[in-house]
Amino acid sequence: MDRGTGFRFGKAFGIPLYLHPSWLIIFALITFSLGTQFTAQHPRWTPAQHWIVGIATSLLFFGSVIFHELSHSVVALRYRLPVQSITLFVFGGISRINAEPSSALQEFNIAIAGPASSFFLAGAFYLAGRAAGGNEIVFAIVTWLWQINFALAVFNLLPGFPLDGGRVFRSIVWGVTHDYTKATRYASGSGQLLGYLMIFGGIWQFVSGNHIGGLWLAFIGWFLLSAAQESYAQVAVQSVLAGVTAGDIMSKDVPTVARDISLADYVHEVLRTGRRCHIVTGAGTPVGFITLHAAREIPRDEWDLTSVQAVMMPLDKVQWAAPADPVLKILDRMQREDVNQMPVLDQGHIVGIIGRDSILGALQTRLSAGHLA
């Protein structure tokens, strides 16, 4: 599994769990809100009880969010879709599933699993409250938890992509039209509409005096709007680049540099040719790969005394592509491995280089051609 974003704090079903730094913001806000709420509702409790119960309730709530995301992930794993990680952040949680569902039914089942799990937790906490008897602290905790899980399920079922309800909506349109791109366009449109409504609603609340609630609602709306737009853009890119391989757009001009030249000479070569990556050779044989980024990692005053060989990436650590590899998969690998260029290898021979810039150029050309058509 690749690394997630933030601090790793555990693993479930083989899936790494992470806390994004922004999670601390919402955890602090919810804990403060609960502590204040319990102080008003239960004045007989001590101040320590108010805040301990507030912290405990917050932790159980985020445990509920993890349960929600795990439900998505477990169903995805059932369909053999790789799950990279689950991350808690300021807006809740996100499951990073590294492949799209292959059918509308898979999309529906993965999406509906989250709200279903939240409804399940709401029912479980409600029953726990009924069984709490006279335990006021337990009753206060589980009452808030069943209500918030119910609200979480209902909110996630709103038909705005990328909310779970938006994905359910997309799966239905996909199943009816058999057109994934069209379904994504409709679901993204509903997500953008919902985002605008939340932004305007937040502004109205802010003007009406509910400053914190209004700002928070508008902020969530802005996030939803941006995510919906980005999601459709990603699908549009996938549609445009579908069927394009590394061999179609790679540069067959493979620039090389000798391993014994200095970094100063290498940078001069980059400036002269405009080529930002080179195969490093020794006695005419490829021995490594170097980029301008690697050279910049060395202080400038050491360039004259440092050879290319000292900073190059050995061949056994280079990320390679094959001519038949789909460009979309190569781009995904580049993003995961944080590289900008890959040599293309065919039957043990370097036949070209593909980079993010060449992929972007191919995308722009195909978009222009499609527009003209």
Each of the 373 residues of the chain gets a pLDDT tens digit; together they read 344 567 888 888 889 999 888 888 888 888 998 988 888 888 888 989 999 999 999 999 999 999 999 999 999 999 999 888 898 887 778 888 877 888 999 999 999 999 999 999 999 999 999 898 778 899 999 999 999 999 999 999 998 888 899 999 999 999 999 988 888 889 889 989 999 999 999 999 889 888 878 888 898 888 888 888 887 777 777 777 878 888 888 888 888 899 999 999 999 999 998 888 888 998 878 888 998 888 888 999 999 999 999 999 888 888 888 899 988 888 888 877 778 888 888 887 888 888 888 888 888 887 776 544 4
Given this model, what pLDDT does residue 2 score? 42
Q: What is the pLDDT of residue 306?
A: 92
Decide: residue 28, CB within 10 A, 0-12 exposed, 13-18 middle, 19+ buried: exposed
pLDDT given for residue 201 in this prediction: 93
- Residue 51 Rama label (left phi>0; alpha psi -120 to 50; beta): alpha
**Residue 71 and residue 12: Cα distance in Å, rounded?**
11
pTM: 0.70
**Omega before 159 cis (within 30°)?**
no
Q: Which domains does the chain carry?
A: 7-241 (no CATH), 246-372 (3.10.580.10)
Q: What is the pLDDT of residue 236?
A: 73
Output the pLDDT for position 261.
92
Query: What confidence score (pLDDT) does residue 230 get?
Result: 81
Residue 314 contacts residue 286 (beta carbons within 8 Å):
no
Distance CA 16, CA 61 (A): 19
Note the pLDDT of residue 61: 93
pLDDT of residue 76: 94
DSSP H helices in the chain: 23-41, 47-78, 104-131, 136-156, 164-177, 180-207, 211-241, 246-249, 263-273, 292-296, 308-311, 327-337, 356-372
Give pLDDT, residue 372: 40
